[in-house]
Structure 1
Amino acid sequence: MEIKRKGNLYNITAILVNKDGQVVDEVQDSFVIRELTVDKAGNFILNGEKIRLNGVARHQDRKNKGGAISKEDMREDFEIIKEIGANSVRLAHYQHDSFFYDLCDEDGILVCAEIPFISMLNEDSAAFDNAKSQLRELILQNWNHPSICLWGVQNEITMGGESDEITSQVKELNDIAKTLDPSRLTYSAQFMALNIKNPLNEITDVQGYNLYYGWYVGECEDFRTWAKDFHEVYPGKPLVISEYGADGLMKYHSKTPQQGDYSEEYQGVYHEKNYEIMMESPWVGGSFVWNMFDFASNGREEGGVSGINHKGLVSHDRKEKKDTFYYYKAMWSNELFIHLCSRRWKVRSDANISVKAYTNTGCGELLVNGVDFGKRTGHILKWNDIPLKMGKNIISIIGGRVTTDEIVIIRQEDEDSSYEFKGNVISWHEKGGVEGLEINPE
């Protein structure tokens, strides 16, 4: 169901005059009249219509710039988010530039805004004073942005351990948010190891969970069991999956994608399985892909690359869109397209390969070296045992007779081993989480 998320954007001018009628100050702002509520079943209701939050998370950084990004950079990010068809964005885990909120206001994108109360409790009382101050400033500076639908009070705060003090502090932060802005909903993003029955899940209006079944732990199918368990404990609680994802490095590829191989193919399989389970769980009111873009992360050394989290759907420099980007575009966007996957796997040795494509046209017809291999229907299109000749092979596809795509694959005798990750898979969680991080001061 397509949701009419846009409203009329109004401009307002507030003028302060003294007793003599002279203007001493003037402020201009914009606003939209909109309402986001939840019903008794935990569904989100936007302006009277049920809506699912089809969202992505975003960090405010970019290759070779860090956080010193320009308005042009932010506008490019926003256009990419619009292209994928997302209706919401999670701005993690700190204050973001107000210009990005302006862009979301203008287009009707819903925003989750949050503070850096994150990962583990700091015993210094000044740290909590800072968290309260940041929450007040976040709300008071931004409450006129109609794009903001949720105030986030913490992210994975129990990663360093659980305590009564954490519960007390999260309650206090939630109270501050509700006092300053009772019109909006609050949420928190739990560390996936937190027990479902923990009292932290009873504080905010909306509960978020960061779940990585099929990547850090377990299998993708484990998410189904978890979602059912949560719903049994909190049948009317609005639930969003605030993070889920898998690292996908565009230089790695696999014909048998497996958890931990860092291949672009497994990233696709991971998201296909997890999103399918979410859509089969109607009490999951929304989800935020972690992450829209690859981002800098000093404590990481995964997939043979240091300092980067590769869970993004788009490269850190925004120049390359991974296959998984097009999976979500197929699920969310009305802009007709078809996309052949594994296009960066240019050199193969197999005589027969599998071909996959994502599309929102409803169908696709595959041609390889001019030979028609038939049509498939759906969002995910697959063909098996497609023969390759030695040398150059042209693979093309027609989607719904309105859009096409084409890639070239070179077949050679010897397998190109550079496409395979050969290191040991040791995630930062296995290194000890936040307590195990060694921070490079440079």
Structure 2
Amino acid sequence: MKRRVFLIFLAVLSSFNWAGAQQQKRLTSDWEFLKQDLGGIWEAVRPVAKGSSEAVPLWEPVTLPHSFNAEDAVDPDMNYYQGPGWYRTKLPLENPYPGGRILLHFEGAGQKTDVYVYTTKVGSHTGGYDEWTVDITDAVAQFQKLDVFNKQFKGSVPISIRSDNSRDLEMIPSDLSDFNLYGGIYRYLNLVYAPALSVERLFIKPELRTDLKAGKIDVRARYYDPTSLAGADITVRLKDPDGKLLATVKKSLKSFDEKASIAEFSVKSPFLWSPDKPQLYTVETELLSAAGKHIRTEKVGFRSFEFKEHGPFMLNNKRVLLKGTHRHEDHAGVAAAMTEDMIRTEMQMMKDMGVNFIRLGHYQQSPIVLDLCDSLGIMVWEEIPWCRGGLGGDIYKDQARRMLTNMIEQHYNHPSVIIWGLGNENDWPGDFSAFDKEAIRSFMAELNDLSHQLDPSRKTAIRRCDFCKDIVDVYSPSIWAGWYRGVYTDYKKVSEEENKRVKHFFHAEWGGDSHARRHSEDPDNALRKVKSSDGADERAGDASLYGGQARISKDGDWSESYMSNLIDWHLKEQETMPWLSGSAYWPFKDFSTPVRPENPVPYVNQKGVVERDFTKKESYYIFQSYWTSKPMVHIYGHSWPVRWGNEGEEKMVKVYSNADQAELFLNGKSFGVKVRNSQDFPAAGLRWNLPFVAGKNTVKVIATKGKIRMTDEISFDYETRKWTKPAKLVIHKTSEDDGIATLEARIYDAAGVQCLDNASLLKFSLSGDGELIDNQGTSTGSRNLQLYNGRGIIKVKLNKGRSTVSAKVEGVETAFINL
């Protein structure tokens, strides 16, 4: 693979992944953190007696991965911290390889990072999302010669790391982006021991014959050889998805040319990788030299794909509708610092929802995510963070080139990857005094060429930059029918028009915001204000909650009820669009953003089908009902405790299911069997108009899919009384478990009727021994939030003490509860 002159590396710095190295350990514990800058590196390592007045600044113990924006990103009362933070630890280092290398492999840290061994700076990296490695061998050897090695540090080596997410217009992504640019070592940091000669990276290219009945695999390698050793022997093994050894190739290497093939394998009747059967082959290299033995293992897969011109997507010569979503690296309480268990949970939830495609927005993501996409069978569009703001100068462009190269080389072997994304919303100005469309086109063309040079086997793509749509292989325009513009019934017509404008159309980003636990008896009411002919793209200012033409994003109720209808309509229409390559709902999970402080949950983009803590919204089950084959049934309204209407009025109950048919019961009485028909909107025909009784109601469904029987049940109150203006706020404890109390505030009128359509801003506060569990960015984890149907929930950690919690809504008396 040809190296390019603009890739500049420090002598000790490599931009590649050592995840396959033989001796590797995650460095998760025994770290200290400081949320500010230091006067210099000496302040991190100088000897200070515990309790001394000189023990300033004060460091706190943390575990990696860690982001110093874990909570302040969604703090409703302040902007999130953007600046430097420091991490430090002491490592006992014992390299098992004589003359071997000691490496620190970063899976991602944001956004600029400096690494020190004692007082020696050993490496730096700019970019918060690609992997990179620092060789600390020589600095460690020099430090171990100093008296302080044994006297002060007791035979351990001090490592200090400065992470900085300060605003910088000559960096990507732009701070205008609709997501936080987190700071910290928010992905895993690995200690790697490698022999003096090792395989740094494998480039494995599986190819299929047109009829899919035979394939071949070509293997190349990049070597890490900082001491210039002479010669080595390499053995390459290929194993099938069951682990059976298929072939072995052995070679003696006189030189270490990464462009030279080290093994070629022919495979008859190869197992194919697909979403239904993600079959993975194993390629193992064993490098033997005077420096010792080094083993590296990679997973690869055979698959062919094609975007038909103005037509569908083909995988392994068959049409496959790309059923997608998006992922931001973001979670309640940790921000970007998601553990492997969290990532696995999230990706499995996507697969269980029926996803076979994901766009990783808007940056290279953790290698754990890509490994899971391979093993779960989820196709990937992965992109660099050239997102909004315009185009900067040479430093800016060098970072974009470097991050594109790193992303492609680091994730080259993943069969799940089918698209390299070059940018997002590059038509969005703001970071520079001049916005030059021709300069953006020129640089986009350069990145497109670079991507194809590095990897001719994948497609390139961008989303929402019409003046660059002819440059890339696949283009996604902005279509937000029923949210930022128009009505959702415009979706198919607009998509057909956009499909004609480009050779290869894909619809990335659609949907809209929903405040979890907010429901509506008339969810489509705001559509009456919106013009159907108003288009469907997002215009400048459409994300604002003020001004401009009527649109659901501003004038709608942000209910789960409305979003369920929008999603239901899109999914049923997609079944009648045989030319459609696919779409990706934006996004899978709510995430934090600095540009939406006035949302119902402040600083949270609430378009996810699950909340920031994995709590499922109703829309999750709608996707399941269209996209999965495993039998499922779900009555809409599990988080809707009180419905309302007139006495004797029939109210709709919707059931989302992939069943053949379903029977519904209200308070034990059957209201008949309905047959599922995906084109019978809403709920694919599984809907009933029922005469609720005032007070408690129970709805149960029995659904059948073939011989499989499924049930679901919900209970709720039906309110027939009419409420007037809010007059009273009440707060009460609904539960207590393991020292955590759940509190609910409700707003009532003067007659004691709950104001079920009230969406006022609610503010919780606490005094005493306990702690509010807030700054989570969820509907039950924010001290400031809009009410959902006249109520709001918060949790309190009691700490075995006494506390008073208040709830406040403007215009009514503050409510208190003693705990």
Q: What TM-score, normalized by structure 2, do the two folds share?
A: 0.48
Cα offset for 1:121?
Answer: 1.1
Cα offset for 1:394?
Answer: 0.8
- Provide the rounded CA distance (Å) in 1 between the counterparts of 2:308 and 2:324: 20
Quick check: 2:275–2:376 contact (8 Å CA) kept in 1? no
What amino acid sits opposite 2:284 in the alignment? Answer: T
Indicate the residue corresponding to 2:280 in structure 1.
9
Could you tell me which runs of 5 or more consecutive residues in structure 1 were left unpaired when the two chains were aligned: 424-442
Q: Identify which of 432, 438, 450 aligns with 1:176.
A: 450
Q: Secondary structure at the match of 2:477?
A: strand
Q: Which segment drifts farther, 171-180 or 370-379?
A: 370-379
- Provide the rounded CA distance (Å) in 1 between the counterparts of 2:506 and 2:598: 27
Q: Secondary structure at the match of 2:557?
A: coil
Quick check: 2:275–2:378 contact (8 Å CA) kept in 1? no
Q: Identify which of 411, 423, 426 aligns with 1:157.
A: 426
Indicate the residue corresponding to 2:332 in structure 1.
63
Cα offset for 1:181?
Answer: 0.4
Indicate the residue corresponding to 1:307 in structure 2.
603
Indicate the residue corresponding to 2:392 in structure 1.
123
Cα offset for 1:348?
Answer: 2.5
What amino acid sits opposite 1:205 in the alignment? Answer: D
Indicate the residue corresponding to 1:438 in structure 2.
none
Query: Judging changes above 3 Å, is the alpha-carbon distance between structure 1 residues 419 and 336 closer, same or farther for their aligned structure 2 residues?
Result: farther
What amino acid sits opposite 1:243 in the alignment? Answer: E
Indicate the residue corresponding to 2:613 in structure 1.
317
Indicate the residue corresponding to 1:373 in structure 2.
671
What amino acid sits opposite 1:92 in the alignment? Answer: G
Indicate the residue corresponding to 1:263 in structure 2.
559
Where in structure 2 are the equivalents of 1:154-303 lying within 5 Å? 154-160=423-429, 163-190=437-464, 194=466, 198=467, 200-234=468-502, 237-258=503-524, 259=552, 260-303=556-599
- Provide the rounded CA distance (Å) in 2 between the counterparts of 1:325 and 1:287: 16
What amino acid sits opposite 2:501 in the alignment? Answer: V
Cα offset for 1:246?
Answer: 0.9
Cα offset for 1:383?
Answer: 3.8
1:389-422, Cα deviation, whole Å (9 max, x unpaired): 2221111011116101000011233553244436
Q: Secondary structure at the match of 1:149?
A: strand
1:413-439, Cα deviation, whole Å (9 max, x unpaired): 35532444368xxxxxxxxxxxxxxxx
Q: Secondary structure at the match of 1:137?
A: helix
Q: Does residue 396 of the first structure (1) align with residue 694 of the second (2)?
A: no
Q: Secondary structure at the match of 2:279?
A: coil
Q: Does residue 107 of the first structure (1) align with residue 376 of the second (2)?
A: yes
* Poorly superposed stretches of 4+, deviation over 4 Å: none
Query: Judging changes above 3 Å, is the alpha-carbon distance between structure 1 residues 36 and 385 closer, same or farther for their aligned structure 2 residues?
Result: closer
Quick check: 1:112–1:149 contact (8 Å CA) kept in 2? yes
Query: Judging changes above 3 Å, is the alpha-carbon distance between structure 1 residues 422 and 216 closer, same or farther for their aligned structure 2 residues?
Result: farther
Quick check: 1:298–1:306 contact (8 Å CA) kept in 2? no
Quick check: 2:662–2:686 contact (8 Å CA) kept in 1? no
Larger % of helix: which? 1
1:48-79, Cα deviation, whole Å (9 max, x unpaired): 21111101111111011100010000000011
What amino acid sits opposite 1:172 in the alignment? Answer: E
Could you tell me which runs of 5 or more consecutive residues in structure 2 were left unpaired when the two chains were aligned: 1-273, 430-434, 525-551, 724-753, 762-819
Structure 1 or 2, whichever has the larger Rg, is 2
Cα offset for 1:315?
Answer: 0.9
**Which gives a bigger RCO, structure 1 or 2 (Cα 8 Å, sep 6+)?**
1
Cα offset for 1:349?
Answer: 3.1
- Provide the rounded CA distance (Å) in 2 between the counterparts of 1:301 and 1:375: 46
What amino acid sits opposite 2:447 in the alignment? Answer: L
Query: Judging changes above 3 Å, is the alpha-carbon distance between structure 1 residues 373 and 334 closer, same or farther for their aligned structure 2 residues?
Result: same
Q: Secondary structure at the match of 1:127?
A: helix
Where in structure 2 are the equivalents of 1:67-146 lying within 5 Å? 67-146=336-415
Query: Judging changes above 3 Å, is the alpha-carbon distance between structure 1 residues 375 and 80 closer, same or farther for their aligned structure 2 residues?
Result: same
Cα offset for 1:214?
Answer: 0.8
Quick check: 1:209–1:243 contact (8 Å CA) kept in 2? no
Query: Judging changes above 3 Å, is the alpha-carbon distance between structure 1 residues 361 and 384 closer, same or farther for their aligned structure 2 residues?
Result: closer
Q: Which segment drifts farther, 388-397 or 63-72?
A: 388-397
Indicate the residue corresponding to 1:435 in structure 2.
none
Query: Judging changes above 3 Å, is the alpha-carbon distance between structure 1 residues 349 and 271 closer, same or farther for their aligned structure 2 residues?
Result: closer
Cα offset for 1:302?
Answer: 4.7
Quick check: 1:151–1:185 contact (8 Å CA) kept in 2? yes
Query: Judging changes above 3 Å, is the alpha-carbon distance between structure 1 residues 349 and 7 closer, same or farther for their aligned structure 2 residues?
Result: closer
Q: Identify which of 607, 630, 639 aligns with 1:335.
A: 630
Query: Judging changes above 3 Å, is the alpha-carbon distance between structure 1 residues 28 and 384 closer, same or farther for their aligned structure 2 residues?
Result: closer
Quick check: 1:347–1:409 contact (8 Å CA) kept in 2? yes
- Provide the rounded CA distance (Å) in 2 between the counterparts of 1:414 and 1:162: 57
- Provide the rounded CA distance (Å) in 1 between the counterparts of 2:593 and 2:342: 19
Quick check: 1:15–1:23 contact (8 Å CA) kept in 2? no
What amino acid sits opposite 1:391 in the alignment? Answer: G
Q: Which segment drifts farther, 411-420 or 382-391?
A: 411-420
- Provide the rounded CA distance (Å) in 2 between the counterparts of 1:109 and 1:227: 24
- Provide the rounded CA distance (Å) in 2 between the counterparts of 1:80 and 1:302: 29
- Provide the rounded CA distance (Å) in 1 between the counterparts of 2:453 and 2:312: 24
Q: Secondary structure at the match of 1:397?
A: strand
Cα offset for 1:4?
Answer: 6.0
- Provide the rounded CA distance (Å) in 2 between the counterparts of 1:75 and 1:218: 37
1:4-28, Cα deviation, whole Å (9 max, x unpaired): 642431221122334x7x7453311
Query: Judging changes above 3 Å, is the alpha-carbon distance between structure 1 residues 256 and 162 closer, same or farther for their aligned structure 2 residues?
Result: farther
- Provide the rounded CA distance (Å) in 2 between the counterparts of 1:279 and 1:240: 15
Indicate the residue corresponding to 1:437 in structure 2.
none
Cα offset for 1:228?
Answer: 2.5
- Provide the rounded CA distance (Å) in 2 between the counterparts of 1:243 and 1:365: 35
Q: Secondary structure at the match of 1:361?
A: coil
Quick check: 2:571–2:626 contact (8 Å CA) kept in 1? no
Q: Which segment drifts farther, 88-97 or 298-307?
A: 298-307
Indicate the residue corresponding to 1:409 in structure 2.
716
- Provide the rounded CA distance (Å) in 2 between the counterparts of 1:50 and 1:136: 31
Indicate the residue corresponding to 1:29 in structure 2.
298
Query: Judging changes above 3 Å, is the alpha-carbon distance between structure 1 residues 368 and 184 closer, same or farther for their aligned structure 2 residues?
Result: same
- Provide the rounded CA distance (Å) in 2 between the counterparts of 1:129 and 1:329: 43
Q: Does residue 355 of the first structure (1) align with residue 653 of the second (2)?
A: yes
Quick check: 1:252–1:420 contact (8 Å CA) kept in 2? no
What amino acid sits opposite 1:394 in the alignment? Answer: T
Query: Judging changes above 3 Å, is the alpha-carbon distance between structure 1 residues 418 and 251 closer, same or farther for their aligned structure 2 residues?
Result: farther
What amino acid sits opposite 2:496 in the alignment? Answer: K
What amino acid sits opposite 1:36 in the alignment? Answer: F
Q: Which segment drifts farther, 344-353 or 54-63?
A: 344-353
1:263-290, Cα deviation, whole Å (9 max, x unpaired): 0000111112233333333332110010
Quick check: 2:477–2:498 contact (8 Å CA) kept in 1? no
1:278-308, Cα deviation, whole Å (9 max, x unpaired): 3333332110010111111121135432111
- Provide the rounded CA distance (Å) in 1 between the counterparts of 2:675 and 2:624: 16
Cα offset for 1:40?
Answer: 4.1
Cα offset for 1:209?
Answer: 2.5
Query: Judging changes above 3 Å, is the alpha-carbon distance between structure 1 residues 4 and 312 closer, same or farther for their aligned structure 2 residues?
Result: closer
Q: Secondary structure at the match of 2:450?
A: helix
Quick check: 2:326–2:359 contact (8 Å CA) kept in 1? yes
Q: Secondary structure at the match of 1:239?
A: coil
Cα offset for 1:384?
Answer: 4.8
Cα offset for 1:128?
Answer: 1.8
